[in-house]
Amino acid sequence: MSETRIHNFNAGPAALPLPVLEEIQESFLNFKNSGMSITEISHRSKWFDDVINDAVARTKSLLNLGDNYHVLFLQGGASLQFAMIPMNLLHGDDSADYVNTGTWSTKAIDEAKILGKTHQVVASSKDRNFCYIPTNIPFNSNAVYAHITSNNTIKGTQWAAYPDTGKVPLIADMSSDFLSRPFDASKFGMIYAGAQKNIGPAGVCLVIIRDDMLNRTPDNLPTMLKYTTHASKNSMYNTPPCFSVYTIQLVLKWLMETVGGLDKMAAINRQKAGILYMLFDKSTFYKGTADSDSRSMMNVTFRLPSEELEKKFIQEATENHFGGLKGHRSVGGCRASIYNATSLQSVQALVDFMLDFEKKNG
């Protein structure tokens, strides 16, 4: 690792694979011998057509998606999807189910409320401060969709297995664990992910939507808020965030060709998370905040014996080139975000630092 680069545990914008950054650096001023930067070429050019089409193809390949799924690159982040989903999919007396597992689930539910859309919160882990993923959820068979947040960045919880919703289409906000593991995408009517946590830089939200969901788009929405608008124009109804899409394309290429696919990525992620959680399980100094059966492989949240020690830990970690370990401002504590691009070596180095810090301060 270069002396100028740190061990990056930021929650988002987060670490990107070093080979991707190096490829961007190498081609930045002269992309594909165009004589222009990727930030200068026209989104109507063949150069960018190749970029976005390859990103779509790689997404479909990694998830075994058929032609009945559309891959879109939209602006407004996952937060805009909180509103676009009920706007596009819920009409009249239609109702949707939501599972509340933390801040981002709550925000999605709030947008449905603001829009006056009928919905049911069928399960919640709010009773224990969102430290677990609910089970045995009574989904409604007549719901238009069931919405979950697959991984909760702030609380450090993750669905180990996705719920069975029967014939009701499942929708998931996968912003912080998208493409971190294999899963059966055919269960989902829609998946969306803000790129800046696990697949790219800020500025774009990747949306996967199935035909039956896309066809629910009403005519009386503003043009830019219709999924059909973006699906019919290959995400180029207006100028897309070209650089962000390009970076995602390179991350997908890295995931397929360097890592070797989702099975191998998941094995690495389990190993990274495993050595951190093993430390917690053996320590009386560090305490994980999530129930053991709901622990996230992406966002490892923990506390120390006192807030004073947490401040000291974060300060000394920063001085030793470990970045991004401060917990979310809404909950405090500490958090190590170990997304795909965060290496096993960085996680092992963090564990070594944590053991040393405990020895000196425990």
| DSSP calls for 263-298 | HHHHHHHHHHHHHHHHHHHH-SS-EESS-GGGB-SS
Q: Phi then psi for 326, rounded to 5 degrees?
A: -75, 135
Q: CATH assignment of 261-361, given 3.30.980.10, 3.40.50.20, 3.40.50.300, 3.90.1150.10?
A: 3.90.1150.10
- Please pick, among 155, 197, 226, 272, the residue that the annotation labels catalytic: 197
* Every domain range in the chain assigned CATH 3.90.1150.10: 261-361
197 is catalytic: yes
Contact between 287 and 334 (Cβ < 8 Å)? no
The ranges of the chain with pLDDT < 70 are: 1-3
Name the residue type at position 94. Answer: D
As a whole number of angstroms, the distance between CA 313 and CA 120 comes to 42
- Please pick, among 104, 117, 254, 272, the residue that the annotation labels catalytic: 104
pLDDT recorded at residue 3? 62
Q: Report which DSSP code applies to 226.
A: -
Render pLDDT for 264-291 as a digit per residue (tens, 0 to 9): 999 999 999 999 999 999 999 999 999 9
Two tokens, residue 134: 């609910």
pLDDT recorded at residue 4? 82
Q: CATH assignment of 21-259, given 3.40.50.2300, 3.90.650.10, 1.20.120.160, 3.40.640.10?
A: 3.40.640.10
254 is catalytic: no
**CA proximity to 251, closest of 39, 5, 22:** 22
pLDDT recorded at residue 1? 43
As a whole number of angstroms, the distance between CA 70 and CA 72 comes to 6
pLDDT recorded at residue 30? 97
173 is catalytic: yes
How many Cβ atoms from other residues are within 10 Å of residue 26's Cβ? 9
- Please pick, among 97, 173, 272, 326, the residue that the annotation labels catalytic: 173
Sheet with strand 170-173: strands edge to edge: 69-74, 205-210, 188-194, 170-173, 146-149, 95-100, 118-124
* Every domain range in the chain assigned CATH 3.40.640.10: 21-259
